[in-house]
Amino acid sequence: MGGVGGSSRPAYSRTMADRFNPLTQLTLDQLRERSSAKWRRYDPDVLPLWVAEIDVPLAPAIEEALLRAVRDGDTGYPGDTPYVEAFSSFASDMWGWTVAHDDVRPVSSVIAGYVDAVLEVTDAGGHFVVTPPVYPPFYSYLQQVDRQVLEAPLDADLRLDMAALETAFETATAGNRRAAFLLCNPHNPGGVVHTRAELEAVAALASRYGVTVVADEIHAPIVYDEATFVPYLSVDPTGMALHAASKAWNLAGIPAALHVFGTAATAVRDSYKAGAHHWPTLFGVIAQTAAYRDSREWLDDLLVGLDANRRLVADLVAEQLPGARFHMPSSTYLTWIDCRDLGLGDDPAEAFLERGRVALNSGPTFGTGGAGHARLNIGTSPAILEEAVRRMAATVA
């Protein structure tokens, strides 16, 4: 696995009027029939814009692949060849990144993959570094298996702070301890896409201090035209990365993921593959193979819809919540709102839920820098977003 890295993907040039928008195909009543956590955790009068699930029907190729498996009774153990080949082709076409089959291991989920990866390169009681505000499960799962977190907070623009990162790396490796850096690339919740220069700086620091970088790249397919996704392993062949189609094609309910090893990470690759790690579900493999191989145009349509949604929410927040700051994301459908000037305390999501009946993610759960913030999922219809922001504005009126 090598290659140049960086996006070779053509820009999605057609306007929304010319395209199918997956985000406008389901009514609110239809969505409320769903049994997923997004739609069942809260009372029916709540608009749920929290967990990373999008309000779309399945891409047709994925639907057909799953129906065919059910019709054929194809419910046995999963293999890996079509799945890895489909991802490798997607990575090559979209990002100019060559991924060799031997450097990939299917795993049960991205979370399970990065937990196992960090365990492989650290010792009990050792440290892993995160860059908050960041995806809350970066903290919880690894702390439950006797690893200690060190924070290197992002800067005011939600970009990597290299000085903070160096301090954390130095602390984590003191006494010749093994340490890891759990990199969110692209970043959740800010939607920042790390540049090649930033990733090269991370790689240089990691090399200097002997830190292994484990990159969670689950949101890599969801990057807007002004940004370029750079696979971390195209910069640093000593690291590891986790990929999955679950966010971009809404497949969280049938999990699968791919653990990719850098070309210079052969020792950890061989050690990892010798262990008894959980494989993905067969339906997850079938669905994600169809996503990477046969559902790229559907993804392009989704990106156009999400692009329109992020601009819509930016305008709505500016008009109706002028005291808030909406961080325009360059990737993902998870957006970050600074509510510190709205007088809603450290956890504005609590106020939006109680007074406005809109469910967002609580900012403080994202670590340092999360207080006074909330995460809003724009992966829904424009009509729902308009109603949600109207309710949020009424909360502070």
Give residue-wise pLDDT tens across range 228-256. Answer: 999 999 999 999 999 999 999 999 999 99
**pLDDT at residue 4 above 50?**
no
Residues sharing a CB contact under 8 Å with residue 89, sequence separation 6 or more, in sequence order = 292, 293
> With respect to CATH, is domain 12-58+296-396 assigned 3.40.50.300?
no
- Name the least confident of 108-112, 139-143, 167-171, 389-393: 139-143
**pLDDT at residue 2 above 60?**
no
pLDDT for 13 equals 47
Nearest Cα neighbor of 99 from 236, 1, 6 is 1
Average the pLDDT over 249-268 and give the result.
Answer: 97
Delimit the domains of the chain by residue range.
12-58+296-396, 61-294
The 10s digit of each residue's pLDDT in 296-322 is 999 999 999 999 999 999 999 999 999
Average the pLDDT over 378-393 and give the result.
Answer: 98
358-359 and 47-48 strand pairing: parallel
Neighbour-count burial of 63, counting CB atoms closer than 10 A to its CB (0-12 exposed, 13-18 middle, 19+ buried): middle
Full-model pTM: 0.94
Average the pLDDT over 18-39 and give the result.
Answer: 93
pLDDT for 5 equals 44
pLDDT for 17 equals 53
Name the CATH topology of 61-294: Aspartate Aminotransferase; domain 2 (3.40.640)
* Confidence band of 8 (pLDDT split at 50, 70, 90): very low
Nearest Cα neighbor of 336 from 368, 389, 307, 378 is 378
Residue type (1 letter), 187:
H
**Upper half-sphere CA count for residue 143 (Cβ side, 13 Å):** 9
Mean residue pLDDT of the chain comes to 95
Confirm if 171 and 150 have CB atoms less than 8 A apart: yes
Residues sharing a CB contact under 8 Å with residue 227, sequence separation 6 or more, in sequence order = 186, 193, 330, 331
Confirm if 123 and 38 have CB atoms less than 8 A apart: no
pLDDT for 307 equals 98
Which pairs with CB-CB distance under 8 Å and at least 24 residues apart come from 24-31?
24/305, 24/381, 24/382, 25/56, 25/57, 26/55, 26/56, 26/57, 26/381, 28/381, 28/383, 28/384, 31/55
**pLDDT at residue 3 above 80?**
no
pLDDT for 231 equals 98
**pLDDT at residue 219 above 50?**
yes
pLDDT for 276 equals 83
